Amino acid sequence: MPVAQNARGTRDLLPAQMHARLHVIGLVREVFARYGFEPLETPAFERLETLMGKYGDEGEKLIFRILERGEGGREGKADLALRYDLTVPLARVIAQHADIAMPFKRYQVQPVWRADRPQRGRFREFYQCDADIVGVDSRVADAECLAVASDGLSRLGFTNYTIKLNHRALLRAIVAAAGAADREGEVLVAIDKLDKIGVEGVSEELGRRGFDSAVVARLWEVLAAPADLAAVAAAVGEAAAGPAAELREVLAHAAALGARNVAFDATLARGLGYYTGAVFEAVIHDGGVGSVGGGGRYDGLVGMFSGRQVPAVGVSLGLERLLVVMEERGMLPGIGTRTRALVTRFGAELDAASLGLAAELRAAGLEVEAWLGAPGKLGKQFQYADSRGIPYAVVLGPDELAEGVVAVKTLATGEQRRVPRDQLAEALRG
């Protein structure tokens, strides 16, 4: 007999959890729509070649590959893969559908998969909530992504958060100033772990990778005041002038758009290989789950598929980590079933009338459930409805049917009243 156990790094989402998730997704979608983003969905899996070469060595190790059919699969060959994120599929969509009007603003709320090590707030299957702007090379677009992230977190009820901002070109200049330009990727991978392992841990990792101690010392010298853009730019020199100017422009536009808690951080090194300009990451203070969102500019990604340069920038909120923090902090409202009433079945001889009443209420736009067990034993039916969190039970007995009324029982209080049938839908809405 097979073991009844879900795969490691995945979860079953029961109704109580789904009500909370759908509530949060609804709030995030409202924010996206408020900025003019349109919905988009893409397939759960892509051609393997679509995903490879976009995430860097560390990311590509986490891609779930799908074996080929037939002989190739038996030999361990793969030609498809579950999507790793929502950004690369978007780039593929833009390249494939050249008639999409620009700028194109899309939001997407769908699951992604990564063969990661499961831990608190990190799963192998999880949802991302993305908003991207394609086809416009403007620092206003970068700033709007920051404002979207800020509004999204605030709408969910967070106040104590920071959205960190940096620039890939500035990071490149920092690494070059430390004397490691030829090994930029390795340095950035190590710096990306700074929040988790600290300066000492990053220094040790760089040492294990064979970096000279003088390089490591110079790196921390450049990053001595990581929150001070002017100080970092001065330590780096002329190579920092361009990206520093862009960051100042983004910060100014973000402030004008009302983005809150945005701060420069020279140590922010987003790990994905496709970023080309500004990068950002959202962190909930004392959340204990690391980053809850991030994004950046990726002007070269669409060109990998189409051969034409298409500027793009986007931001993503991590639904799973946000839900972990919101649940622990009691930020999720007690959202139960949407069902307003259970239509009971008084007896088999009245089934046609009772089921017809349920159909009548649904046609009026109400969510109602009809009792599916054996008719009679109203106490059992009331108990079921109460256990489901359904607020009302509707009883249509022979007396009520003859008089053109319906008995409505409020399950929380036990109060019962008679309502004219033509007023029932309105009474249940109230």
Mean pLDDT of 26-41: 98
pLDDT in tens, 131-188: 999 999 999 999 999 999 999 999 999 999 999 999 999 999 999 999 999 998 889 8
Checking if the pLDDT of 276 tops 90, the result is yes
DSSP letter for each residue of 319-367: HHHHHHHHHHTT-S--------EEE----GGGHHHHHHHHHHHHHTT--
Which among 311, 297, 227, 37 has a CA at the least distance from the CA of 148? 37
**Residue 272: its pLDDT value, please?**
66
**Residue 194: its pLDDT value, please?**
86
Checking if the pLDDT of 265 tops 90, the result is yes
pLDDT in tens, 385-425: 999 999 999 999 999 999 999 999 999 999 999 999 999 99
Q: Which two tokens mark 407?
A: 């008995």
Supply φ then ψ for residue 139, to 5 degrees: -70, -20
Q: Which two tokens mark 199?
A: 């300066």
Q: Are the beta carbons of 243 and 143 closer than 8 angstroms? A: no
pLDDT in tens, 282-330: 999 886 777 899 999 999 999 999 888 899 999 999 999 999 899 889 9
DSSP letter for each residue of 144-207: HHHHHHHHHHHHTT--SEEEEEEEHHHHHHHHHHTT-GGGHHHHHHHHTTHHHHHHHHHHHHHH
Query: Which residues make up the CATH 3.30.930.10 domain(s) of the chain?
Result: 15-41+82-328
Antiparallel, parallel or unpaired: β 405-410 and 392-395: antiparallel
To which CATH superfamily is domain 15-41+82-328 assigned? Bira Bifunctional Protein; Domain 2 (3.30.930.10)
Which among 86, 105, 107, 97 has a CA at the least distance from the CA of 39? 107
Distance CA 376, CA 359 (A): 20
Three-state secondary-structure class, residue 246? helix
Checking if the pLDDT of 255 tops 70, the result is yes
Supply φ then ψ for residue 416, to 5 degrees: -130, 135
Three-state secondary-structure class, residue 228? coil
Can you say whether the dihedral through the CA atoms of 20, 326, 27, 392 is positive or negative? positive
More confident residue, 249 or 7: 249
CA Rg, the chain, in Å? Answer: 28
Give residue 10's identity as a one-letter amino acid code: T
Percent of the chain with pLDDT over 70: 99
pLDDT in tens, 109-126: 999 999 988 877 778 999
User: Which architecture characterizes domain 341-429 according to CATH?
Assistant: 3-Layer(aba) Sandwich (3.40)
Is the pTM for the entire model greater than 0.75?
Answer: yes
Which among 117, 139, 116 has a CA at the least distance from the CA of 245? 139
The secondary structure of residue 238, as a DSSP letter, is G
Q: Are the beta carbons of 315 and 351 closer than 8 angstroms? A: no
Residue in the block written with tokens 């340069």:
309
Distance CA 366, CA 350 (A): 22
Work out the mean pLDDT of the chain and round it to a whole number: 93
Supply φ then ψ for residue 106, to 5 degrees: -130, 150
Q: Are the beta carbons of 66 and 115 closer than 8 angstroms? A: no
Q: Comparing 93-102, 259-268, 274-283, 285-294, which segment has the lowest mean pLDDT?
A: 285-294
**Residue 3: its pLDDT value, please?**
81
pLDDT in tens, 181-238: 999 888 988 888 888 898 999 999 999 999 999 999 999 999 999 999 999 999 999 9
**Residue 420: its pLDDT value, please?**
96
Checking if the pLDDT of 271 tops 70, the result is no
Query: Which residues make up the CATH 3.40.50.800 domain(s) of the chain?
Result: 341-429
**Residue 424: its pLDDT value, please?**
96
